[in-house]
Amino acid sequence: MKVLMIFDQIQAGMGGKENAHQALGGKMMPIGSASMLEPALKAEDGKIVATIYCGDAFFAENEEEVTRKVVGMTKKINPDVVICGPAFNYKGYAAMSAKLAKAIEANTDIPAVAAMSQENDETIAEFKDSVNIVKMPKKGGIGLNDSLRHICQLAHKKVNKENIEDLVETICY
């Protein structure tokens, strides 16, 4: 299973809140915090083939253009699945994750999964019926390994076009 990760500037390792205007970019390899997902991906026969990153403020200010470019980059990379997040309790990143997951699924044949903590209640309420959003703890919270495993399990089932209803009911908002 070839996985494309979509990160904000923090998860990409491009700095903190001070770099929220990081322009859209990408690398054909795992970067930043991708390593935390690799053990759970390995269990699902998955491998990160590329990472797209964008500062959450840059995304908010250029949403239409960034969305269009991310959809195009996704088509070109042609992964089996896209994982947007994990966004933890970062509100800007959570909104970007949900919006990009929805756009990717609407404009490609590639499934997408988003992940965020319950602190992103507005984004969850807006997108939970159109995007699979995996529950996860806030930054530093308990249960991170479980949620990473859940993200990868859902991604694997979506790639294999398996029934995801029962899994979604237990691990998603």
Q: How confident is the model at residue 94 (pLDDT cuts 50, 70, 90)?
A: very high
Q: Report the CATH number of the 2-171 domain.
A: 3.40.50.2300
Mean pLDDT for 56-67 is 98
Confidence of residue 87 (pLDDT cuts 50, 70, 90): very high
Q: What is the pLDDT of residue 73?
A: 98
Tokens 């990153």 found at: 53
Type of residue at 7: F
Q: How confident is the model at residue 18 (pLDDT cuts 50, 70, 90)?
A: very high
Query: Is the pLDDT confidence value at 141 over 90?
Result: no
The reported pLDDT for the residue numbered 51 is 98
- The answer to whether the predicted template modeling score (pTM) of the entire model surpasses 0.95 is yes
With 90 as the cut, is the pLDDT of residue 140 above it?
no
Model confidence at 54, in pLDDT bands (50, 70, 90)? very high
Q: Is 124 helix (H, G, I), strand (E, B) or coil?
A: helix
Q: Please report which helix (H) or strand (E) contains residue 81, including its range.
A: strand 81-84
> Which pLDDT score, from 0 to 100, does residue 24 have?
98
**Which two tokens mark 123?**
């984004």
Instruction: Give the residue-averaged pLDDT of 68-97.
Output: 98
Summarize the confidence of residues 12-37 as an average pLDDT. Answer: 95
Distance between alpha carbon 47 and the CA centroid of its chain, in Å?
Answer: 15
In DSSP terms, 3 is beta-bridged to 48, 81
Helical packing angle, 91-107 and 63-77, nearest 10°: 50
Q: Which residues contact 28 (CB under 8 A, 6 or more apart)?
A: 49, 50, 77
